[in-house]
Structure 1
Amino acid sequence: MRVIGYELRKLLHWKKLLIVGAVWVIIYQLFMSFYFEYFPNGSEGYEFDAAVEMVSDYGPKLDDEELKQFVAAFEARQHVFAEQIKDDARFQEAGVATFEEYVHHDSQLHQPSELRSYAQDFGKGALRDLLGELYAKRYILEWMEYSADTERFSLFGTAQQQALQRIVEEQQYRTILPEQVMQYFKMTHKYTTAAILIGVVVLTLPIHIGDRRRGMLQVQYTSRLGRRLYWRKLAAAMIGTAAWTTVALGVLFALLAQHDISMFMQGTLNSALMAGNYWLNLTLAQYMFLAVGCTYALAFGVCLLTVWLSRMIESYPVLIGMLVPLLFIVLTVGFNALLDRLLSLYDPWWRSAAGYALLSLSALALALWRGRREQRLDIRG
């Protein structure tokens, strides 16, 4: 344990932590700050408010009676809109007396009309907010109707059709989970994971190559204890990776708490308010837990690969030259397949699991193979 503690102190040296912290700050400023500062953004704010109202009134899922109540409440708000504009000359000139007529008038134009601009400023924003609310609720009802439509199933494969049929039969689409809430978590989680993986590389990159440059390998291989040092270094790297990943994820969830999304934790992935469908109808809380597990899997996989490369390669330029494309592949193609499209119904159900298994098992196999070789290498290493 004393050796592991010593290796951990080297791994978590303040200079390395300073670099890792700088990477985090840069990624936060470039990619993450927008989501925290402007959530929900623009017109999505009305959809978010409508979803919050629905959860407050009906709970995380609507039954048939509650859906009728929601439709009735939506129609009542349309009457309020009609009352507000009935004596307004601008709307009368355009032949608009109801919300649906306004929607039809607005949809026929390729650019904002004078009526739309007027409506945005009418009553110091009161009508604008009412229109935003009505559009949001209309959008929700349209997507619930679309989600229940079985005619679209013919576009998908047999397994996907069965999954979609189950979504309709179990009325999974009736749960309330706005897409912007999911994106709020997914995007910030993705960039946090990117910072974590870069940090893992920075922390573990010199774990073996530093000893080689100082001529320590020849000393290590003269004793059985020295030959076992590989495993202690690997253990220290894994512990350091776990610690850094935990701290970074802790910071992420502290930042996420700036905006209260707790009311949607029981909403499920196949909600009509979501932009797609998923193989598993997890709740948002369960999906977050799964995503955190995926981050740890990626972090440990990259840690094992970095430790293995650090032992195999003799110079920093070559090591960095190999790690940069590896990181690029993981942060682009890997993230798209393993994080962005995690459990997506539009991909084969096994793809995500296979991707994580391939990365984890390959990295583990290489690390174990090198560990066994350490016991048989001659003194030149």
Structure 2
Amino acid sequence: MLFLELRKILNIKLLLLLFIFNYIFYFLFIEFNFEYFPNGRPANDAYRILNEMKHSFGKTMDESEYEAFKKSYDERILEANKYLQSKEEAVNLGITTYSELVQGDDENEKLNNLRYKIFHKEGVNVFWEIQAQNNMLESYNYKDDQNYGSEDFFITKDTKDRLKEIANNGSYFSSLIFDNYNELIKYTVFLIILSIAIMTSPLFIKDRQNKLVYLQYSSKIGRNLFKKKLAAALITSFLLVTVQLTVFFTLYSTNDTNIFFDMNVSSFYNGFTSWFDLTFGEYIILTVAAAYLLGLIFTVITAFLSSIVPNYLTIIGIQVPIMFVTFTYVLKYFIERLTEITLPSYFLHISYTILVFVIISMIVIRWQKEKRIDILY
């Protein structure tokens, strides 16, 4: 019986529809963050420098390594100065140093043309690299005064201690990498939830429209189909999440961020602060676990709706606001901000526990009603 229910869910027409939907969604919302990572300059230069640092410094940067990094910055400044001093156009304008170039009068048209030529037409690497390094040096110099991207929140002794700990942990993991992954996983999980809604919405509605419920409710075996159908939906969702995450991480591997997997995501150079000492690899594992859990939770929600609504139009009308809330709030707190310091340290545990409890309660209540429901329903 379970196998038959699986075949009904995984029919070729629905799978084809799902494939087309996933294909369109990918090119509309996901492809950009794969295709253009890092996106532009100085992001490309910052990523290249981060790779150099990882090979030179390892997972963290201590004071001596910071001095070496600052020395390389000073050397790039000298290189930029020599470049300007060799350019007749720059010398004629009295521009012989990097600081004169970037801090000069913005109203000077000739100076603006020179800047555009150096940065954009010629794309001289050293000038972009200086910008990238300068951003990191400024973040490092002010690391004791930062909240690391945390919005206004009530700062307790625990949060102060955690912020101080991060300021001294030496990690230089970048928001360039973290934000890219968070954006990708958010849309991927949303795609998973939408796909689950497409696959499981017909679960009970199709039988009701075909008048099969009259046969089902007339026998004990038929009434037990609720559990079989739900089990089939959960198995389908598990497979769906697995396939979609496999495709996602296959594509994500092309971003070449695996070198940073062992770095602490909480750093002076990242806008995210975790309550826990999570490496980037551990954070990825946590988001994968969250994706599976949310997938199973939304499977039960869709199955529950399918068992009580009369037709497809009704279930779509109910799911639209649910998906809006999911994208706006659920993914924000349950994927993007997992373990973030602006949320209570126990938020992750309690919120998922409540969600699971509510979902189990929905199953139990509906199953009890299925056993007692009148055949004229």
Tell me: CA distance 1:29–1:85, structure 2 relative to 1, closer, same or farther (3 Å): same
Q: Which moved more, 1:202-211 or 1:95-104?
A: 95-104
Tell whether 2:200 aligns with 1:204.
yes
Taking the TM superposition and a 5 Å limit, the aligned residue runs for 1:267-346 are 267-346=263-342
Q: For residues 228-267 of structure 1, what are the alpha-carbon distances to aligned partners after superposition, in whole Å with 9 as ceiling and x for unaligned?
A: 2111111110000000011000000011111211111112
Q: Separation in 2 of the partners of 1:29 and 1:301?
A: 27
Q: Separation in 1 of the partners of 2:339 and 2:162?
A: 16
Q: Which moved more, 1:348-357 or 1:227-236?
A: 348-357
Q: Separation in 1 of the partners of 2:239 and 2:168?
A: 37
Name the aligned partner's letter for residue 125 of structure 2. D
Structure 1 unmatched runs, 5+:
none
Tell me: CA distance 1:195–1:166, structure 2 relative to 1, closer, same or farther (3 Å): closer
Q: Separation in 2 of the partners of 1:179 and 1:170?
A: 15
Q: Which residue of structure 2 lines up, in the alignment, with residue 19 of structure 1?
A: 17
Tell whether 2:53 aligns with 1:54.
yes
SS at match of 1:280: coil
Task: Report the alpha carbon displacement of residue 294 of structure 1 after superposing the two structures with TM.
Answer: 1.3
Name the aligned partner's letter for residue 9 of structure 2. L
Taking the TM superposition and a 5 Å limit, the aligned residue runs for 1:52-131 are 52-105=51-104, 113-120=112-119, 124-125=122-123, 128-131=124-127
Structure 2 unmatched runs, 5+:
none
Q: Which residue of structure 2 lines up, in the alignment, with residue 254 of structure 1?
A: 250
In the superposition, the TM-score normalised over structure 2's length comes to: 0.90
The count of aligned residue pairs is 374
Q: Separation in 2 of the partners of 1:258 and 1:76?
A: 32
RMSD: 2.6
Q: Which residue of structure 1 lines up, in the alignment, with residue 213 of structure 2?
A: 217
Q: Separation in 1 of the partners of 2:178 and 2:89?
A: 39
Q: Which residue of structure 2 lines up, in the alignment, with residue 34 of structure 1?
A: 32
Q: For residues 26-52 of structure 1, what are the alpha-carbon distances to aligned partners after superposition, in whole Å with 9 as ceiling and x for unaligned?
A: 111111111111111111101111111
In the superposition, the TM-score normalised over structure 1's length comes to: 0.90
Aligned equivalent of 1:158, options 151, 155, 159: 155
Name the aligned partner's letter for residue 180 of structure 2. Y
Q: Separation in 2 of the partners of 1:85 and 1:165?
A: 46
Q: Is the 8 A contact 1:35 1:184 kept in 2?
A: yes
* Identical counterparts, % of pairs: 27
Q: Separation in 1 of the partners of 2:199 and 2:205?
A: 12
Aligned equivalent of 2:184, options 178, 182, 188: 188
SS at match of 1:113: helix
Tell me: CA distance 1:121–1:204, structure 2 relative to 1, closer, same or farther (3 Å): closer
Q: Is the 8 A contact 1:85 1:91 kept in 2?
A: yes
Q: Which moved more, 1:346-355 or 1:6-15?
A: 346-355
Q: Is the 8 A contact 1:219 1:226 kept in 2?
A: yes
Tell me: CA distance 1:224–1:121, structure 2 relative to 1, closer, same or farther (3 Å): closer
Q: Is the 8 A contact 1:298 1:356 kept in 2?
A: no
SS at match of 2:142: helix
